[in-house]
């Protein structure tokens, strides 16, 4: 973890920061996979000064062949972040209801967009309430920010790169040619085991997994309360799935939200080079020519 900024902040520490001059910008990204938007939750109560940002509408592109939560258009993302008061170089803290999913994807999106000082509130809204910290129903009117979105600050995988990483011999993130067989990669499928095996698929039209991907359900990495084990424990858990310091690693899920939390866990474990297959399974199965594996084997 040396030299890697801590992407998490505890409620009590954040509360102390909010009492200082020029506190962090707070983004409330509460979200539900099947809706409705978290905007009503925000209106009912939020961290003082927090601005609501919609994960689906503001931080992702429209659903389609690229996936259910594809990369956002940089121009639209920049406009949304500036409207929320995000300033160049100024700290941002994102939070969700408590499971950490939406907050991790928001953290990843801002980091991918080139904004480095961003953290996730550990335990989210639930932890803030449990700590007895102040809340508000006032709707803030932030001064427009000046953040500049510069895409590509975190590595991403497209379908071909994900397949190559899973096969251990294809292009790594940022490469167009063949990979180095001495550095065979690991592609983590962090969905539930039954979805990986192809026994059930509640959302997408095809069940199964990317051939060669290794199943490591997110529930083996992160608690339901959005809390993470310590770095050494995370490294042991990732090592059990074949992740070592020498092997390139990427992650996918159904649509790139859950996998963003796995990428955050990899950062905590000392792997800031971990790549996100943003389109994930919803992009993979959009092309019927792509192969699908089932069962426990990769």
Name all domains of the chain by residue range, CATH numbers in brackets: 8-130 (3.40.250.10), 156-284 (3.40.250.10)
Nearest partner of 41 among 54, 30, 33, 32, judged by Cα: 30
Answer whether residue 44 shows pLDDT above 50. yes
Q: What tens digit of pLDDT does each residue of 265-294 get? A: 999 999 999 999 999 999 999 999 999 999
Answer whether residue 3 shows pLDDT above 80. no
What sections of 29-73 are H helices per DSSP?
39-44, 55-58
Q: Residue 296: what pLDDT?
A: 87
Q: Residue 18: what pLDDT?
A: 97
Q: Are 54 and 76 in contact (CB under 8 A)?
A: no
Instruction: Give the predicted TM-score (pTM) of the model.
Output: 0.93
Q: Residue 279: what pLDDT?
A: 98
Query: Dihedral (C-alpha) 150, 153, 154, 160: value to the nearest 10 degrees?
Result: 70
Q: What tens digit of pLDDT does each residue of 211-265 get? A: 999 999 999 999 989 999 999 999 999 999 999 998 999 999 999 999 999 999 9
Sign of CA dihedral 259, 257, 278, 116: negative
Answer whether residue 134 shows pLDDT above 60. yes
Q: Residue 184: what pLDDT?
A: 80
Task: Write the DSSP symbol of residue 206.
Answer: S
As separate numbers, helices (DSSP H) first and strands (DSSP E) second, the chain gives 11, 10
Adjacent-strand bridge partners of 120: 8, 94
Q: Are 30 and 41 in contact (CB under 8 A)?
A: yes
Q: What tens digit of pLDDT does each residue of 164-217 get? A: 999 873 334 444 444 444 458 999 999 999 999 999 999 999 999 999 999 999
Task: Write the DSSP symbol of residue 182.
Answer: G
Residue range 3-23: mean pLDDT, rounded: 91
Residue range 103-132: mean pLDDT, rounded: 98
Average pLDDT, the chain: 93
Active site members: 253
């Amino acid at each position: 973890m040396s030299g890697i900024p801590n992407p998490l902040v505890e409620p009590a520490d954040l509360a102390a920061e909010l009492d200082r001059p020029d506190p962090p910008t707070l983004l409330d990204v509460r979200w539900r996979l099947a809706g409705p938007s978290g905007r009503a939750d925000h209106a009912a109560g939020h961290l003082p000064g927090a601005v609501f940002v919609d994960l689906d509408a503001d931080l992702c592109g429209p659903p389609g062949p690229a996936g259910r939560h594809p990369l956002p258009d940089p121009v639209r993302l920049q406009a949304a972040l500036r409207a929320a008061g995000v300033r160049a170089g100024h700290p941002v803290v994102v939070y969700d209801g408590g499971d950490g999913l939406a907050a991790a994807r928001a953290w990843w999106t801002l980091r991918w967009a080139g904004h480095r000082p961003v953290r996730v509130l550990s335990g989210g809204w639930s932890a803030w309430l449990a700590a007895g910290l102040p809340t508000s129903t006032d709707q803030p009117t932030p001064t427009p920010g000046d953040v500049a979105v510069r895409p590509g600050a975190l590595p991403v995988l497209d379908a071909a790169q994900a397949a190559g990483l899973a096969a251990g011999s294809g292009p790594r993130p940022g490469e167009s040619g063949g990979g180095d067989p001495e550095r065979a990669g690991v592609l983590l499928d962090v969905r539930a085991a039954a979805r990986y095996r192809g026994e059930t698929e509640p959302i997408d039209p095809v069940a199964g997994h990317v051939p060669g991907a290794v199943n490591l359900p997110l529930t083996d990495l992160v608690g339901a309360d959005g809390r993470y084990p310590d770095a050494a424990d995370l490294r042991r858990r990732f090592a059990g799935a074949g992740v070592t310091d020498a092997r390139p690693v990427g992650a996918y899920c159904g649509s790139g939200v859950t996998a963003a939390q796995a990428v955050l866990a990899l950062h905590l474990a000392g792997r800031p080079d971990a790549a996100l297959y943003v389109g994930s399974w919803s992009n993979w199965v959009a092309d019927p020519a792509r192969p699908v594996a089932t069962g426990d084997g990769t």
